[in-house]
Structure 1
Amino acid sequence: MTPLLTAMLGALLASAPEEAPEGRFSVVPFLLPAYQPETSFLLGGAASLVHQPPASRGGRESQVMLAAAASTRGQFTLLLQPDVNLLEDRLNLTATASAARFPDRFFGMGANTRAEDEEDFTPIYFELELSPKWRIAPRLYVGPTVRYQHARFTQVVEGGAVQRTRGAEGGTTLQLGLAALYDSRDNTLNPVTGVLARLNLRGAQGAWGSDYAFAVLRLDVRRYVPLPWGPRHVLAMQGLVELRDGEPPFYDTGRLGGMELGRGYLEGRYRERQHLGAQVEYRAPLFWRLGGVAFASAATVAHDLRNLHINDIKPAAGVGLRFAPMSDVPVNIRLDVAYGSEPSFYLNVGEAF
């Protein structure tokens, strides 16, 4: 989902208390109006609850993101996404709970679909993902992961491309697997240096109550390099490998584009079992609490790895502004403009990666 956000209505800032022995909690909420053709006018809000451990003790920050949006046509999305560190960083708990009824566009499968084949449909999703990971070595966490998803579709074109694609009837999947996390970042909210690597291996089987049988390998690696010509000048890099085996439904395949990797493309403009991408972003302070970024990305999708072709790579680039509502909490509100297949605007809390 990539709405064209018109402006930010306001930012309501919670005052930060004095540092206590258990650390400090801060809240960064905001409201924003938006407009996109599929939804008409949209009002959304988000809030980040941030915990910063005492500087004298060190440790990793924790964040819980809550976001919601509703439109004048009765569409909605609701997201709760914690990333919490417990037991003096011996346990990392990440989770996602979401529900959405939001319009989408389907162009077919593969890297060579045509814009004129666009077909509207409205999915309804319920999703829950949970991944507790224990530290087994310095900066390395490993643990189980479980992902439940239920999907159904409304307002589907009768006899159209969606109805002819695997997964058109919706259904339920339960994926079980293993997750690993390596994190050497200096800050989990807005890093300047370090590496973050996430590996997920999951599978779905009919015996587990899933309507589809397939396996997923997802590797997401990010590197942050401080640049020598000033503080807070950072080169951020990301690489993504997302591979599937079996026959997943079309709505659970790789989706190129969106608010993170592939800004400039509608999320899901290109879909397939295999999804590869990379991006780089230069981040620099401007003045006061404002910063600027410039970014570029390249990504592609394919049914099988042997079908990958250099001509199918989709490039994109853009620039953005960052605003830190609180001087002592490293969470930015970001506004990006990018061009891939068309100009796109993004307004959100936190960095793209």
Structure 2
Amino acid sequence: MIKSFPQFKCIHVRKFCVLFFYAVSIVCFGHRSDSTEVCSLHTDSLISTSNQLKADTGTVKKVKDNWWRRLIYGNKDRSFEKKIDVSFLPAPTYSIESELGIGGIFSALYRLDRQDSIMPPSDVSVGGKVSVTGFYAIQASGNNYFKGRRHRLSYRAVFANKPLDFWGISYDACAHNTASSYTRQSTVVDVDYAWRAVGQFYVGASLEALYMNGRHLLEPAYLEGQRSEYYFTGIGVSVLYDTRDFLPNPQRGVYFMLKEMVYPSLLGTYHKSLFQTTVTFDAYQKVWKGGLLAFDLYGRLNPQDTPWPLREQVGSGVSRMRGYYEGQYMDCSQLSSQLELRQRVYKRIGLVAWGGGGIVFPSLGKIGKSRFLPNYGLGVRFEFKHNMNLRVDYGFGRHTRGVVFGFGEAF
């Protein structure tokens, strides 16, 4: 009796389940003549669902993360799901200084705090290029945001060898001298630290190391008695107001910076200490769907006896006065401004148009309309990584024009 009781109980439980599903089927679907049919229906449904789940699970394949996928889908922000989101792009290059060449850019986004959705991702890029003229350059730069969004570190390191035309070290000399040539070898390291004091106001500190050597100079007199080789170390402080959302490619916000640098004679090869003042104001405003208006105002003041490596050059770099030959106009100080319209055209493709101008001068008392240099042009953008553009600009100026390749927006 003890052994048969569990079997008896099990039989009654099964009968109860059959009757229960039979009653439910009558209420929900109408009369069924065979309770077994009801049980069979539910059993078949469960088996079918189980088989479907197995089939679906079997069809899921792991997608490999390779270079091609990182290029095609590189504009997606994956810095929350990856420790570091890396992409690499090789490309041909061309400029009026270096002519035809080949280069590549390695770029990465990362977050030190992946729980903070407000803080923009940190970025780092390493690029280089080499050309048929003997030009070669390697550059590394980036912006690092620390946890808490109160500290930011920006850095840049450049090593370059550039065969260039050379007109002189002042505006008047550049305007009248015939072009000579030399090879400029340079190493530059910049580090800028910013601490958010209150609201969007920052206090910063800067460190710079600069080495410049003008080799194979055909016209030594163009240096006006200065040396061909210098080394400088600069120390600076700055105040900033910054509401930009992402430094390499801002979509909104305002940026103001006032920086004062000193280059002590004890930390360089120049016979006296030098002081330098830099002011930058940038603003970004969306105007319509896919359209952004960006404004840049830049000024840098140096003393009149500034050695040539620290002087301002129109066309140097890829940010301002695009299209001018590097060093075509040079003097102690510079003022420039530009207004740029950026329009997204299709998915990751965009177009830009800009206009502006600038002036280089030895002192504030010698600023004149005759020195003004116009600048305008058109450009194409490709969103290589999330909010980071590969750009090609074609700029025009006074009796000059040129192509500029760059990574990230001009400003």
Match of 1:151 among 205, 212, 215: 212
Relative distance call for 1:110 and 1:153 in structure 2 (3 A) is closer
Instruction: Report the TM-score when normalising by structure 1.
Output: 0.86
Matches within 5 A, 1:268-279: 268-279=327-338
1:204–1:210 Cα contact (<8 Å) kept: no
**1:123-272 maps to which residues of 2 (within 5 A)?**
123-162=184-223, 164-166=224-226, 168-212=227-271, 213-227=273-287, 230-245=288-303, 247-258=305-316, 259-272=318-331
CA drift at 1:316 = 1.2
1:5 equivalent in structure 2:
none
State the match for 2:101 in structure 1.
42
- Whether contact under 8 Å (2:97, 2:325) holds in the other structure is no
- 2:48 counterpart residue number: none
Runs of 4+ with >4 A deviation:
14-24, 35-41, 52-56
Q: Match of 2:127?
A: 67
Structure 2 matches for 1:66-85, cutoff 5 A?
Answer: 66-72=126-132, 74-85=134-145
**Percent of aligned positions with the same letter in both sequences?**
22
Structure 1 residues 101 and 242, CA, compared in 2 at 3 Å: closer, same or farther? same
Residues 221, 41 of structure 1: alpha-carbon distance in 2 compared, 3 angstrom cutoff:
same
Aligned length: 338
* 292-301 or 96-105: bigger deviation: 96-105
Shift of 1:169: 2.5
8 Å Cα contact 1:18-1:24 kept in structure 2 = no
* 1:338 aligned residue: 395
Deviation of the 1:55 alpha carbon: 8.5
**CA contact under 8 A between 2:380 and 2:392: conserved in structure 1?**
yes
1:120 shift after superposition: 1.0
Aligned equivalent of 1:33: 92
Asked if the contact 2:169–2:222 (Cα under 8 Å) also holds between the matched residues in 1, the reply is no
Q: Which has the higher contact order (CA 8 A, sep 6+)?
A: 1
Amino acid at match of 1:139: Q
Distance 1:296 1:55, change over 3 A: farther
| Shift of residue 111, structure 1, vs aligned partner | 3.3
Amino acid at match of 1:287: Y
Report how far residue 12 of structure 1 moved: 6.5
| Equivalent in the alignment of 2:55 | none
Larger relative strand fraction: 1
Please, which of 119, 122, 131 is the counterpart of residue 180 of structure 2?
A: 119
Note the C-alpha offset of 1:123. 1.4
Contact 2:96 2:402 in 1 (8 A): no
Bigger helix share: 2
Gaps of 5+ in 2: 1-67
| Closer/same/farther in 2, CA of residues 35 and 257 from structure 1, 3 Å limit | closer
1:218 positional shift:
0.7
Q: Which runs of 5+ in 1 are unaligned?
A: 1-9
For residue 47 of structure 1, report the CA deviation from its aligned partner. 2.2
For the structure 1 residues 84 and 265, does the alpha-carbon distance in structure 2 shift closer, same or farther, using more than 3 Å as the test? same
* Structure showing greater Rg: 2
Summarize the Cα distance change of 1:36–1:301 in structure 2 as closer, same or farther, 3 Å threshold.
Answer: closer
Per mean C-alpha deviation after superposition, the further-off stretch among 190-199 and 216-225 is 190-199
Amino acid of the structure 2 residue aligned with 1:222: D
Task: Find the residue that maps to 2:168 and give its secondary structure.
Answer: coil
